[in-house]
Amino acid sequence: MEYDVLAAAAGLGTWKGGQGRELLLQQKHDQLESYLTERVTVSVDGVGCSGELANTGVVEGQEQVYARSVLIYACPGSPSGGFTVRYNVFAAGDAVVDNHTNIVDYALGAATGTYVFDTGHHEFEAGKTGVLDLVARFIVMGAEHILSGIDHVLFIALLLLGARGWRSVLTLATSFTVAHSVTLIMGALGWVEVPDKIVEPLIALSIAYVAVENILGGASRHRPLVVFGFGLLHGLGFASTLSFTDQLGGRLLGSLVSFNVGVELGQLLIIGLLFPLLLLIRRFAWSSYAHVGATAVAGIFGFVWFFERFLT
């Protein structure tokens, strides 16, 4: 879990520096144990298991510092099934974060599987997490990610503004899809690691570049290649949502593909809603002014975001 968020939610206070963070977790062990065991519970056939915080540590990520907490649960008898896990870490009542998603890989008794905890899903029964439900959850996650990412939406909108017709849209969409699918998978698997402080400014710069190209003369014949290059960057941005390990085994590929399908569906929704509207607007005499104005505004956002992300 993100160290700073966990420290704020559990009321641990702050202590800067790697050694200081680990020392704080050790000193606040009982307080952290109380917070976590109240919010992460395990039961067997309705009987609760006793949880304790075995050890803690600090893990340095590329962009974040994470707290590692190992919880051990002692369950009554010789449990063979019927495990139920409830997870309410970073709940709304903690008033720390608005939304929290945790992808969990589990092996409880004879049951193994994957589950996605989020705002509307706080518990699961081991062995009864359906494959179709999991696929649907990852598809929704992918669609929500692209639709809520204003930079991704603006980039696609600018491509549509510069497209001459549906054939051009199909070519650009295919180029963007292939590119971001490659880096999404490679990034999520950890095969390619590029810091967010590099990726995010360049994504913003891709918006500014396409906007300038649209204003100066429209799309060049090399635009599909340009879009492919920028698609590689956007794919790394999508991948930042996911963090998988080899422990997921055979479920890994399905999860990645499902998330990517969600991204594609979100992209198709943007294109399906926006491009017909743009074609309709082009029938009017004032459309060229609207085209330049909308492109300029999007380009300004791109430049502003670039400098904001570059300087932070």
φ/ψ of 195, rounded to 5, equals -55, 145
Please tell me which residue, 131 or 180, carries the higher pLDDT value: 180
The pLDDT value given to residue 8? 82
Q: CA 304, CA 306: separation in Å to the nearest integer?
A: 5
Q: CA 221, CA 224: separation in Å to the nearest integer?
A: 7
- pLDDT surpasses 90 at 190: no
The pLDDT value given to residue 97? 66
- pLDDT surpasses 90 at 172: yes
Q: CA 203, CA 179: separation in Å to the nearest integer?
A: 14
- Of the candidates 142, 139, 111, which has an alpha carbon nearest to the alpha carbon of residue 124? 111
The pLDDT value given to residue 93? 65
Sequence ranges of the domains in the chain: 3-129, 137-311
Q: CA 256, CA 242: separation in Å to the nearest integer?
A: 9
- pLDDT surpasses 80 at 123: yes
Q: Mean pLDDT, the chain, as a whole number?
A: 86
pLDDT tens for 262-301 read 999 999 999 999 999 999 999 999 999 999 999 999 999 9
The conformational region for residue 93 under phi > 0 = left, psi -120 to 50 = alpha, else beta, is alpha
- % of the chain residues with pLDDT over 70: 88
Instruction: Return the number of other C-beta atoms located less than 10 Å from residue 132's C-beta.
Output: 7
**5-9, 32-36, 89-93, 102-106: range with lowest mean pLDDT:** 89-93
The pLDDT value given to residue 274? 96
The pLDDT value given to residue 195? 86
- pLDDT surpasses 70 at 92: no
Q: Sorting pLDDT into bands at 50, 70 and 90, what band is 23?
A: confident
Structure token digits, residue 128: 């009864």
Query: Which range has highest mean pLDDT (99-108, 138-147, 218-227)?
Result: 138-147
Q: CA 202, CA 198: separation in Å to the nearest integer?
A: 6
Query: Is the sign of the CA dihedral 240, 183, 179, 261 positive or negative?
Result: negative
